[in-house]
Chains A and B, each alone.
Chain A
Amino acid sequence: MHPTLRDGDYIIALKYFNNHFLVGDIVIAAHPIYQDIIKRIQAIDENGNYWLVGDGTDTLSTTSMGAIPPAALRGKMLFHIKAKQ
C-alpha cells in the first residue's frame, strides 16, 4: 500500500453494520490465502462482491486476490497514524 501506508503505521478501522463500503475506501479483508490484508476497494461488482487493489506499483494484482464477499470485509480505515520515517 505504499505510498499511502507503510510498515509500522497504525490505523483505526470501523465496521459498519450495513457493510457500507465504497469504491476508494481502504479496507481490511480476511482473505482465504493472504489472511488479513489491507487494500483499497477498486470496484464493486453486480453480485455485491468487492475487488481490491493496492496503492503501490508492486502490489498483488486485483485478479490474484479475486472477488471478496462482503462478509470478508472486516472494516474501513477511518484514521491513519503514520510511523516516524
Chain B
Amino acid sequence: MIHQITKALDSVLNIKSVSAHCDVPCGIYDPSTMQLAALTVIRFMDQINELEGKELTLADQAKLVRLVSEKEIHAEKVKQEVRIVWGDYFKAAQFEACPGTNELVHNIMLTGSKCKQGIERAAAEELLTLVNEFAVSFWKTKGVDTFTATCPYPPALDVVYPKLG
C-alpha cells in the first residue's frame, strides 16, 4: 500500500534513482559478435567438408583437428554471446517488446550444441538464421531498424545489420 502510494508520487515527482551495482554492467551489447561466430561455424564446416574423400596427409589431419576444434569453440561462443545479451541486457521491457525471445534463445542453445556435435551445414545455417532473428529483436529494443545483406566474405550468407547513422 505504502509502496503503491510512493510509486504514484514517483510518477509525478520523479524521485531520484540510485543503483546498488550488484554486478559491473558495462552496457555494451551488440549481436555482431554472435553473428560472426555463427558465420565462422559455417565457414569451418565448409572447410571440413572439403576434406571429404581426400587422402589426408599429416598436414591435412592437423588442419582437420584445428578446424573441428575451432568450429566447436565458435559454436560455444555463439551460445555464450547470446546468453550474455539475454541474461544481462534483456529485462521485462525487452521481453515485452520481443515476445518469443526465451523460446528463440533456447532454440539457439540447442542448435549451437548440434553444431558442436556434428558437421551438418544445415544446422549451422539454421544457427545463423536464429541468431539473425535474435539480432532483429535486439535492435528493435534499441529502436534501431535493421536490414539484411549478404556478408562480403565467405560464406557469403545473409546477415542482419543495424541501420545506423
Q: Which residues of A contact B (CB under 8 A)?
A: 1-2, 5, 9-10, 28, 34-39, 54, 56, 58-60, 64, 81-84
Q: How far is the CB of B140 from chain A (nearest CB, A)?
A: 23
Name A28's contact: one of B6, B15, B18 (CB within 8 Å): B18
- Structural contact, A10 and B20, CB atoms closer than 8 A: no
Q: Does B22 contact A (CB under 8 A)?
A: yes
Q: How far is the CB of A38 from chain B (nearest CB, A)?
A: 5
- Structural contact, B20 and A38, CB atoms closer than 8 A: yes
- Structural contact, A58 and B16, CB atoms closer than 8 A: no
Chain B: number of interface residues, binned into ranges: 10 to 19
- Structural contact, B18 and A83, CB atoms closer than 8 A: no
Q: From DSSP, what is the main secondary structure of chain B's interface residues?
A: loop
Name A37's contact: one of B4, B7, B15, B21 (CB within 8 Å): B21
- Structural contact, A37 and B22, CB atoms closer than 8 A: no
Chain B positions within 8 Å of A9 at CB level: 3
- Structural contact, B3 and A58, CB atoms closer than 8 A: no
- Interface flags for B90-128 (1: CB within 8 Å of A; 0: not) read 000000000000000000000000000000000000000
- Structural contact, B3 and A39, CB atoms closer than 8 A: no
- Structural contact, A58 and B18, CB atoms closer than 8 A: no
| Top-7 shortest CB links A-B | A1-B20, A36-B18, A38-B18, A10-B6, A56-B22, A81-B3, A60-B21
Name B3's contact: one of A10, A34, A38, A59 (CB within 8 Å): A10
A36-B19, A38-B18, A64-B24 provided; 20 other pairs, C-beta below 8 A? A1-B22, A2-B22, A5-B20, A9-B3, A10-B6, A10-B7, A28-B18, A37-B20, A37-B21, A38-B19, A54-B21, A56-B20, A58-B22, A59-B20, A60-B24, A81-B2, A81-B3, A81-B6, A82-B3, A83-B3
